[in-house]
Structure 1
Amino acid sequence: MSLKIPLLVIFVCGAWQCRAYPSGAPGCKPNSLPVSEYDFIPSHGSTVDDQNLPYYVNATNSGKEWTVVIWAENSYFKGLLLRVIPLNSSNTVTGTYVTMPSDTRNCSDSDATHTNADTNHTSLMFVWRQSDAMTGDVYFKATIVHTKSTNYKITASSVPNPGTTVTPSASTQTAITMSTAPQSGISPDPECGSTKGCLSSCSGGACSYLITWQKRGDLVRFELMIMSSENRYQAIGFSSDNKMGGDSVMVCKSYGGTVTFELGHTVGTTYSNLPSLTGTGVNVLESSQTDGRVRCVIERTINSTNSYVFSLTRSWHLLRAIGPLPGGAVTYHSTRTASSSQVDFLSASLITEEQPDNLMVKIHGSFMMIAWVMFSSIGIVTARFFKDGWEGKTLMGQKVWFQIHRTSMVSVFLFTVSAFVVIFVDVGEYREVVVADDRDYLKYHPILGIVVTSLTVINPIMSLFRCAPTDKKRPLFNVAHFLVGTGAHILAAITVLFGMNIDRSNLPVEASYVMYAYMAVFVVIEITFELHRVCQKGLNSNNHVAMEMKNFGDKSEKSIQFEESPMIKKEVFLYFHMLLMVAFCVSMVVILITS
């Protein structure tokens, strides 16, 4: 009886919690429940609060309405918890969310969260209206989560103008008084499409970046704005196609607290800046940074005498790039997009960016999964544990196990080399993976991929020059063949797992879970077959019972042997292993293709 009561209590509490939080952050509390600082800590295992993540919160008020913008710089987030908090704990927060983005919900007067953990958000805007009974100052605090398996950031609304802020006890909290109205993100330009041409990324009334151009007599005024932290740049390029190379470039840089503008050009994938704006027909009107908004405003002549500043009398593809500024110098971009068509910069048109083409990435990933999750897993297990299978039968003049092994490993070679060629054609050169958070280990994905491909090519070449089975040096080949093959398989599994977590793959966290499950199952299968082989060797010396019957009269001997036949043939377990590996492979490929 004493055991049943606690179990019943646990069951009822667990069921109540499931009803209270069907989706979103568990810390999103209804009005009837007390709130706590612990509500902001996700229950995601070993993840921690990482203040270096590029996630930000801005809040402004107009009368009784507060506009709150949450955004990510060159990244995205899947989950969040947003809360309105009184600066004075004796005050009561009362109000309601009057505007909420899709895939979000409010849990109470003060709390809001996501409803779909599969959606990638770059920016979200909430409008919260305070009640007439509310008094005192507030600030907006949020937990922003990249993915469930990665770190999160707890942050609060940004600091308004000096003299109007009060800092709470937690270093990440910033209070904003009711009377202040600082800039909140980037507001959409109402002149876009009428007097100005525009390229932007806006959601819920807030933009993460905005680029405009407007013809003014013999000049064109450009405005480049982006929500960004320091030591980053936003650049636009004028290109005859939608690819980098031979382009005229304008760059707005924020480094060390100072915003500057520069011109440059590209040769292939190499960028070079112009030493001066003299003689280019370009004048800088403004370069500033306010509340995380970096802004450059310039005017340039329609026709420049400088060959690196292209004429605007013709249309160009508009390239946009964002990247870091180590030492203040423009380096390879972390994000690059292109306009969906050529742009007439003398007209007021609304431009959209091409959707990222991930076809080659999907083919690359699918080929690698087919090669290593399916074919390699089958080929390795067959060669290691089933050489004595099929009772010595042959297939096309060779033992069955050898035909399965050879077919599998040839398939590994073909799919791996094809995957390597596909991704190299896509990126055009060796390129480091740009990581938006602190998962620096993902940068080793290209290097590991090259190593795996090299081992994949080396192993069959070794096989072509193997010595005869009876040669005294054959054991050396066997060891080398085993080490290269097994090493390639282990590195390939790690490389595939890293690839699943790269932002460009855009895979949900469930894909990694499937990969973890595959790795665990494969290890269990290897251990099981190895234990079976060891036990079988021990039984082979005892599975024949010999009874010697000696006839003292005629000195004759008879031996009687009893053999145990297994109920299930050994090969059945290999077929089951094959089905498991195919199932894992198909699951991963389907997730990749449909993501």
Structure 2
Amino acid sequence: MKHIALYLYIILSYCSVIIFGQGPVTNFQVQDCGVSWDCVGFPNADCVGRGLCTNLLKYSYAASDPNHVKVELHGIPPMAGANDFWIAVGFNHEPNSMAGTLVSECVYNAGQVDVFASYNGEGYVNQRLQQPKDGITGISGSLKNQILTCSFTLNRLRRANDMDFDLATPLYVVMGQGPAEAWELKPHHVSPYVTPDKLTIASNQPRKPFPNLQPLLTVSPVPAATPASNHDVMDASAPVARQITPGNSVEGCFETKGCLTYPPNCFSSKTCVAILSYTADPDNKGQVRMELWRQVTQPGDHYVAVGLAAVSPEMANSGVLACVSYGDNVDVIASYNPGRYNVEVNNQRENITVTKKGMDGKSLYCQFTMPSRRSFAGSFASSPVVIDVSNQSFLMLAHGPAYPTGKIRKHSIMPISTANAVRMDSVAAVRSSDLPLNLYKSHAGLMVGAWMFLASVGILTARYYKTMWTDYSPFGIKIWFHIHRPFMFLAVLASIAAFVIIYIRTGGLWTATPPSENAHPIIGFIAFVLGLMQPIVALFRPNPGAKNRPLFNWFHWGVGFACHILAIAAIYLGLMMPQMSIYTDYGYTPIWIMVAFSAFHALWLILLQIIEWIIPSLKKRQQTMQMKTINGNGQVYQETTISRSKPGSVLKTLMWIFHFVVVAGFTIAILVLIGISH
């Protein structure tokens, strides 16, 4: 019976990337690629030839219709079971840049398919064109067998954001996918990919070889720069001009005011990207004065904001004051974070006095005062939420794109926060904290080490090595148990530590992510409970000869088996959670490492099971040599039996060592990606 469960394990382990997160599929029509269509495949060029793509762009240009290009987009959901999603192709004049991209979106929404035109500003800012069908005709689409297909025709000449896009000239091609909601695009789960070289889409040249793609940085690199120290700042009472040069909030940091910077400790290297300064207003008791500054590298609407939290440096339950540039306006606008999202408040500008503000295309700056007790009122609470910073509070600094209405969008990078609560009248240097991200990384690292390495080795040893190394029993305990017990004990301890860490990090709201978005929390919790049961059940293990021992063995094995499957599935899902930027940073790389690990571990289980079946037949064939010494009368006076070593023992030992090394390698690879992710 156990080998039936073994096959179930193999299927679930190897296919969990398909069950819980989509991988490449083979149903794309690629036979005409390079023949009647030019093709670009995501995530690599080889996927076109093999038909193993997650996204596929096909385009065709005919001289008989010089003003149009036929386009087909094919793609799978970003996650298995996703309801509404989008796939898109974009064209850009600049290399490795999401900003400045003219996008054609293929969107699936509630059983319908449509195509829209949009334009990417800085970072994650994507806005539909005022005429969202501009330059797009002949639209058709369908979703069949979990493959979304859109066919449409693009005008060769198009214009967006005062920029011309001629498909007859070389352009960089960008491809991406993500979830959708009510026809609107939500941020992609994995970084888009871009061609390293420009392609001429409307070309009469022979069909081109399938190009390679490379990950596109969704947050544009910010060149090192020092905010100017003596620029004129426009008085808040005057109209805002886009040509003015904002002042700088660096002067007096740690001398006359406290400061928080991104990146931390950027003064000496002169690479500050965003700065918050704060102090108690000496002229108005009960008031605090703040300055917000950020560097701007792309046109569009932007913000830099401070988050105020009285209890902990958490995004949830924090008040926000943002210096926002939108249209021709610069203003300080209040909002609130009820959870890991931002909402508008009814009293956006109440009791906020802006004294200086400015935006010149290179930097954004605001200086303002407000009461030390600030209320935030809205539908998120029955009564206004009051945050008092008169004593001590945690401060957070974030920046990112804004909507044309002035509402802030998701920050471009993980916000930075003070490690401890600070006083508004303190000018001492503050220590910034990456604690939230580090806690996520610690949780992930512990769980990966526990279940990829410790549990995999411990379970395999208990299943197939009980009859091995029986000539040695240190302290009266068999070798296999010397391996199994500490490995599984450490796996449970690591799981407990990881659970405590994530419980602290989320304030007990570890199920805040709904299963429809990512089932990692609930699946991980079930695996954790099952894992916790194992050592408790082991305390009641009957003696080897007891009547209930077989029942215990089956129960112990079954619970451990289910626990391991769920834990590996939870790791797949955890790597794709937005709180962990590993999936955004490295695309499918960590997923394929997990697939390779699952395939290898399943293969080893198959091979060891085959050996288990073969060994009994080898034992039957094992020859026994009888050595007889015969005296002169032909009588036997001595008989000796010489037995060979146990069949398969050397092979199984070498397989155990190889499994240990390879599983350790896969585990280290995932741990490294977790450690270096942003």
TM-score range for the pair, normalised by the shorter chain length: 0.5 to 0.7
The answer to whether residue 247 in structure 2 is matched with residue 194 in structure 1 is: yes
Partner residue in 1 for 2:308? 238
Asked whether 1:422 is paired with 2:501, we answer: yes
2:120 corresponds in structure 1 to: 70
Is 2:573 the counterpart of 1:498?
yes
> For 1:48 and 1:476, how far apart are their aligned partners in 2?
38
Within 2, Cα distance between the matches of 1:58 and 1:29? 13
Task: Decide whether aligned partners of structure 1 residues 271 and 86 sit closer, same or farther in structure 2, where only a CA change above 3 A counts.
Answer: closer
SS state at 2:675 partner: helix
Q: Which amino acid is 1:589 matched to?
A: L
Residue 591 of structure 1 is matched in structure 2 by 673
Partner Cα separation in structure 1 for residue 665 and residue 262 of structure 2: 42
Q: Kindly, what percent of the aligned residue pairs are identical? A: 20
Q: Give the counterpart letter for 1:70 in structure 2.
A: N
CA distance in 2, matches of 1:586, 1:421: 23
**Rounded Cα–Cα distance in structure 2 between residues aligned with 1:444 and 1:45:** 14
SS of alignment partner, residue 415 of structure 2: strand
Structure 2 residue 425 is the aligned partner of structure 1 residue 337: no
Letter in 2 for 1:107: L
Aligned partners of 1:250 and 1:262 also within 8 Å = yes
Q: 1:26 Cα shift?
A: 8.4
Which amino acid in structure 2 is aligned with residue 194 of structure 1? G
Name the counterpart of 1:155.
Answer: none
Counterpart code for 1:571: T
- 2:487 aligned with 1:451: no
Using the alignment, how far apart are the partners of 2:244 and 2:83 within structure 1?
39
What letter corresponds to residue 668 of structure 2 in structure 1?
A: V
Q: Distance in 2 between matches of 1:410 and 1:456?
A: 10
Task: Give the Cα separation in 2 of the matches to 1:469 and 1:249.
Answer: 64
1:135 corresponds in structure 2 to: none
Does residue 317 of structure 1 match 2:395? yes
Change (3 A) 1:514 1:246: closer
What SS does the aligned partner of 1:106 have?
Answer: coil
CA distance in 2, matches of 1:92, 1:429: 53
**Other-structure match for 1:469:** 544
Measure how far apart 1:498 and its partner are.
0.8
2:472 to 381, 393, 400: 393
Structure 2: distance between partners of 1:51 and 1:44? 8
- The letter of the residue matching 2:656 is L
Q: CA–CA distance in 2 between the matches of 1:365 and 1:467?
A: 35
Q: 1:486, 1:309 → 2: CA distance?
A: 49
Q: Does 1:574 align with 2:653?
A: no
- Letter of the structure 1 residue corresponding to residue 475 of structure 2: M
Cα deviation 1:124-170 (Å, max 9, x = unaligned)? 99xxxxxxxxxxxxxxxxxxxxxxxxxxxxxxxxxxxxxxxxxxxxx
| C-alpha separation in 2, matches of 1:114 and 1:429 | 47
Aligned 8 A contact 1:338 1:354 in 2: yes
Corresponding residue for residue 117 of structure 1 = 214
Distance 1:41 1:531, change over 3 A: same
For residues 659 and 348 of structure 2, what CA distance do their matches in structure 1 show? 67
CA drift of 1:121 comes to 0.5
Q: Equivalent residue for 2:200?
A: 108
TM-score, scaled to structure 1: 0.54
Local SS of the residue matching 1:392: coil
- Whether the aligned pair in 2 keeps the contact of 1:55 and 1:73 (CA below 8 Å) is no
- Aligned residue for 2:235? none
Instruction: Give the counterpart letter for 2:608 in structure 1.
Output: F
* Inter-partner Cα distance in structure 1 for 2:571 and 2:555: 24
1:479 aligns with 2:554: yes
TM-score by length of 2: 0.49
Counterpart of 1:193, as a letter, is P
Residue-by-residue CA offset, 1:258-301 (whole Å, 9 max, x unaligned): xxx996778999999977789x54699xxxxxxxxxxxxx9997
Structure 2: unaligned runs, 5 residues or longer: 1-31, 48-54, 94-99, 103-118, 127-152, 159-164, 175-192, 204-209, 223-239, 251-259, 264-273, 278-282, 293-302, 324-331, 355-365, 376-385, 401-407, 425-431, 627-633
CA shift digits 1:169-222 (9 cap, x unpaired): xxxxxxxxxxxxxxxxxx996546339999999xxxxxxxx9999xxx999999
Cα distance in structure 2, aligned partners of 1:92 and 1:266: 43
Correspondence for 2:438: 359
One-letter code aligned to 1:574:
W
Contact 1:424 1:430 in 2 (8 A): yes
Give deviations 1:461-509, integer Å, cap 9, x for gaps.
Answer: 1111211111101112111111111111111110111111123322222
Corresponding position of 1:531: 610
Query: What is the 5 A alignment of 1:228-267?
Result: 237-239=307-309, 242-244=313-315, 247-249=318-320
Contact 2:396 2:416 in 1 (8 A): yes
- Aligned residue for 2:497, secondary structure, equals helix
1:31, 1:124 → 2: CA distance? 35
Evaluate the alpha carbon distance shift between residue 26 and residue 476 of structure 1 in structure 2; reply closer, same or farther with a 3 A threshold: closer
Distance change (3 Å), C-alpha of 1:523 and 1:17:
same
For the Cα contact (< 8 Å) 1:315–1:344, is it kept in 2? yes
CA distance in 2 between counterparts of 1:592 and 1:59 reads: 31
- Structure 1 regions of 5+ residues with no counterpart? 1-9, 61-65, 76-82, 126-186, 202-209, 224-232, 253-260, 285-297, 323-329, 346-352, 548-553
Q: 1:362: Cα distance to partner?
A: 2.4
Task: Give the count of matched residue pairs.
Answer: 444
